[in-house]
Structures are given as C-alpha cells and as structure tokens.
C-alpha cells in the first residue's frame, strides 16, 4: 500500500486524513500547530512527524491541504521539497491558483517527482462521509497511481486536464457559490421587507427555477436557523473568488459577475473578519437593508 503523508489538518484536512487512515493506508501527519497533529495521530492511529522533512521521508504520496498555494510553497521550502523522493507525488488538495501550481509542478519535475492539483468540494460533511468531488489537474498516469488514496475521501474524481485545470474549475465553482449566496440573500431580504417570509419564499424558489445549493441547503440549514456554523471561512471563499476573477482577466474574458463576486467577498471579509463563515456574508446585506432573513 502507498505510504501517505498529510500536511494541513484544518477544518477539511482533518476529516480527509481520517478517511485515509480508516482506508488502511500507512499515514504520517504534520500540522503547523503541532498539537493538532499530535491529537489527530493519537485518535486515528497515524504517525506524527515533528518536521516536514520527516513527514515526506519515505512517503509515496504527500498530500497538502493548506489555505493558499503560497502556503504550499512555504511548506515546500521548509523541508518538504528536499525530502520528497524521486517518483513520489505531491497531491495538493488546497484550493489553489493555477499559475502557482504550474510553478510547483515544474520544480518537482526537476527532481523527478510528480504534482497533481486536486481541490475538493462538498464541505466538511462530505469529507467526513467520503463523498467529496475531487477535481484534478496533471498527467493521467500520475493520477492513476494515487487514485485509490483519493478514493478514500472522494466519490466523484474528475481529471480536468493538465496541471492547474483542477484549480481553475474549483475557482469558478466558488465564484458561482459566492454569487448564489449573495443573490439568494438579496432576494430574501427584499421579500422579507415586502412582507413575504423567507420560509415561504424558499419553499417556492426550491420548487422553481431560481433554486441552487445555497437556496436548497445553505439557507434552510444555516440562515433560517440563525445557526451560521463555521465550517468554511469567508476569507477562503474570498481567496477563491479572486482566483476566479484573475483567471477571467488572464484569459481576457469579460466577466463582470465573476469580478463582482470577488469584490463582494473581499468587502464582506473586511466587514466580518478572518474567522467568519462564508454564509455569514448575508449578514452584510441584512445590515445594509436593516432587515433580517427569517
Ligand atoms: P483552515 O483554515 O481550517 O485550515 C488551514 C490549514 O492550513 C491548517 O492546518 C493550517 O495550520 C494550515 N496552514 C495555513 N497556512 C500555513 C502555512 N503557511 N504553513 C503551514 N500550514 C499552514 O482551512 P480549511 O481546512 O477549511 O481549508 C483548507 C483548503 O481547503 C483551503 O484551500 C480551502 O479553500 C479548501 N476547502 C475548504 C472547505 C471547507 O469546507 N472548509 C471545502 C472545500 C475546500 P494551523 O492549524 O497551524 O493553522
């Protein structure tokens, strides 16, 4: 069985790593805040590596799941790159940016190691249940070699194209997520002010053509209940939407809504802070309107 090292036990990394351990793969973990890795290793029966080079030592697959691509570059430069061996694969599950992923792939190729960008979608629950969608960029052969590891946390695994293609698809998905959260929020606040309850409005919208994951799941579970659980930080959605906007600019595609989704996420992040959940962005619309979605 492939030896796996997992770097980045955050909100989504932790349940993904748990699935890999449960799948029977020999697993070594490293996390910047070491206590998280120590407690994970104890609970999941994994090995805790004190350093990044120790984590990569002997690993066939090194998985990174960090906030941004520049964090991935930082861990590579802090011992991971030196220790990765010939023939091994860096499977980067960060929702990264395609340009940085291509640079990283080039550096790894120089030492005969492989790179696959493999961002995921499906949230913390999807990670816990092993039902994530995984969008991959890289060589088909490299993907085939690590597919069984991805299969422990992913249900739909799609090879999107060369390195960076997975990141690009993920970023555009996130821009759509931001737009549907924001659009549904605007609609429900306007309806609330005109006297229509959000429960009733969602009942109609979810049986009509304006429905989305936001209207069908996020709003009923998180907004109407006023629970706003913190599972995916708004700061990360902001990062994703800005990657999407950059791709559109690089490709010279006039994309006003994509640009706007990034601008709105940045604005909401500045207003709500680094730890706010992405769905809390609707509270900005509520504040502006002086009405709440109930
Ligand atoms: P979190 O903020 O919960 O965790 C981030 C992880 O990255 C932590 O382990 C953190 O370490 C580590 N980290 C950040 N910067 C560095 C650095 N410079 N060096 C070393 N370690 C670092 O994020 P998530 O787990 O939510 O997200 C991880 C990735 O997955 C992001 O790209 C996100 O966009 C994506 N994603 C998240 C989803 C979700 O539902 N949460 C869903 C789909 C994708 P430490 O513990 O020390 O802070």
Ligand 1 centroid to Cα of residue 211, in Å, is 29
Q: What is the pLDDT of residue 36?
A: 98
- Which residues have a Cβ under 8 Å from the Cβ of 158 and sit 6 or more positions away? 133, 134, 135, 136, 169
- Which residues have a Cβ under 8 Å from the Cβ of 39 and sit 6 or more positions away? none
Mean pLDDT across the stretch 51-67? 98
Ligand 1 centroid to Cα of residue 207, in Å, is 35
Mean pLDDT across the stretch 15-44? 98
Q: Which of 155, 156, 170, 270 is catalytic?
A: 170
* Residue 56's pLDDT band (cuts 50, 70, 90): very high
Ligand 1 centroid to Cα of residue 2, in Å, is 24
Ligand 1 centroid to Cα of residue 11, in Å, is 7
> Is 2 a pocket residue for ligand 1 (Cβ < 6 Å)?
no
Spatial separation of the C-alpha atoms in residues 294 and 285, rounded to whole Å: 14
Q: What is the pLDDT of residue 116?
A: 98
- The per-residue pLDDT for range 119-142, each reduced to its tens digit, is 999 999 999 999 999 999 999 999
> Is 124 a pocket residue for ligand 1 (Cβ < 6 Å)?
yes
* Residue 24's pLDDT band (cuts 50, 70, 90): very high
Query: Mean pLDDT across the chain, nearest whole number?
Result: 98
Task: Read off the pTM.
Answer: 0.97
Q: What is the pLDDT of residue 34?
A: 98
**pLDDT above 90 covers what percent of the chain?**
100
Substitution candidate for ligand 1 out of 7, 11, 166 with most atoms within 8 A of CB = 11
> Is 121 a pocket residue for ligand 1 (Cβ < 6 Å)?
yes
Mean pLDDT across the stretch 2-31? 98
Ligand 1 centroid to Cα of residue 8, in Å, is 6
> Is 123 a pocket residue for ligand 1 (Cβ < 6 Å)?
yes
> Is 218 a pocket residue for ligand 1 (Cβ < 6 Å)?
no
Active site residue 155: no
Closest ligand 1 atom to 240 CA: 34
* Residue 291's pLDDT band (cuts 50, 70, 90): very high
Closest ligand 1 atom to 121 CA: 43
Q: What is the pLDDT of residue 92?
A: 99
> Is 31 a pocket residue for ligand 1 (Cβ < 6 Å)?
yes
The string of DSSP codes covering the chain is ---EEEE--STTHHHHHHHHHHTT--EEEE-SSHHHHHHHHHHHTPEEPSSHHHHHTT-SEEEE--SSHHHHHHHIIIIIHHHPPTT-EEEE-S---HHHHHHHHHHHHTTT-EEEE--EESHHHHHHHT-EEEEEES-HHHHHHHHHHHTTTEEEEEEEESTTHHHHHHHHHHHHHHHHHHHHHHHHHHHHHTT--HHHHHHHHTTSTT--HIIIIIIIIIITT-----SSBHHHHHHHHHHHHHHHHHTT---HHHHHHHHHHHHHHHHH-TT-BGGGGHHHHHHHHT----
Residue 40: phi, psi to the nearest 5?
Answer: -60, -45
């Amino acid at each position: 069985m492939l030896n796996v090292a997992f770097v980045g036990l955050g909100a989504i990394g932790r349940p993904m790593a748990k699935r890999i351990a449960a799948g029977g793969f020999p697993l070594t973990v490293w996390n910047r805040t070491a206590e998280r890795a120590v407690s994970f290793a104890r609970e999941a029966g994994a090995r805790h590596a004190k350093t990044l080079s120790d984590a990569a030592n002997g690993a066939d697959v090194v998985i990174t799941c960090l906030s941004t691509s520049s964090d991935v570059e930082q861990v590579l430069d802090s011992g991971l790159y030196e220790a990765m061996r010939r023939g091994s694969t860096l499977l980067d599950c960060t929702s990264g940016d395609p340009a940085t992923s291509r640079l990283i792939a080039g550096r790894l190729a120089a030492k005969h190691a492989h790179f696959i960008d493999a961002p995921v979608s499906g949230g913390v629950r999807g990670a816990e249940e092993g039902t994530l969608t995984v969008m991959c960029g890289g060589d088909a052969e490299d993907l085939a070699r690590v597919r069984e590891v991805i299969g422990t946390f992913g249900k739909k695994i799609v090879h999107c194209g060369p390195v960076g293609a997975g990141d690009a698809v993920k970023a555009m998905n996130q821009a759509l997520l931001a737009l549907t959260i924001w659009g549904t929020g605007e609609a429900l606040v306007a309806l609330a002010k005109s006297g229509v309850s959000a429960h009733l409005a969602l009942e109609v919208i979810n049986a009509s053509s304006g429905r989305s994951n936001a209207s069908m799941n996020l709003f009923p579970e998180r907004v109407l209940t006023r629970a706003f659980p913190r599972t995916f930080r708004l700061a990360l959605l902001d990062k994703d939407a800005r990657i999407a906007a950059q791709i559109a600019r690089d490709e010279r595609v006039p994309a006003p809504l994509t640009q706007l989704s990034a601008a709105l996420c940045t604005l909401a992040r500045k207003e709500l802070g680094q730890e706010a959940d992405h769905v809390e962005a609707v509270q900005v619309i509520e504040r502006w309107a002086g009405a709440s979605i109930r």
